[in-house]
Structure 1
Amino acid sequence: GRRICAGMSLGIRMVQLMTATLIHSFNWNLPSGQLPEKLNMEEAFGLTLQRADPLTVHPSPRLEAQVYGM
């Protein structure tokens, strides 16, 4: 409608950009002993839609720390 949040489109773009940056900047590994085929991908309903079992992953930088300005 006419009274939609003026910053909503900017907020959506920022979330997309940050998600893409995280995915691109890190290698994502499952904890040792956990197989991708065994992940529970079922959803749990509540106020928001979320996974029934939380996904635990371990990030490791793709490049050297100096590339990221650290």
Structure 2
Amino acid sequence: MAGDEIEINIFCSKNECRAKIETISVKKENMMLTSSETIFCPSCNQDVTEYREITGRNESREEELDTLPASDYMNL
């Protein structure tokens, strides 16, 4: 079922790059965010360890932070 799948973005693990390499869909029960796999980064032009993140995570985090009272938001 499509509702049981999550999209995961795969990025270059180098801090100076962090280029988005691809997006994959996986079933929730097969989801694995930590990985030691390597993937070719066209920006760095080399094989790098992949960095995985759930699609929409940053946007969701920002939305939640915007709902906090200003005093709590400033303490983060």
TM-score normalised by length of structure 1: 0.24
Larger Rg over CA atoms: 1
Greater fraction helix: 1
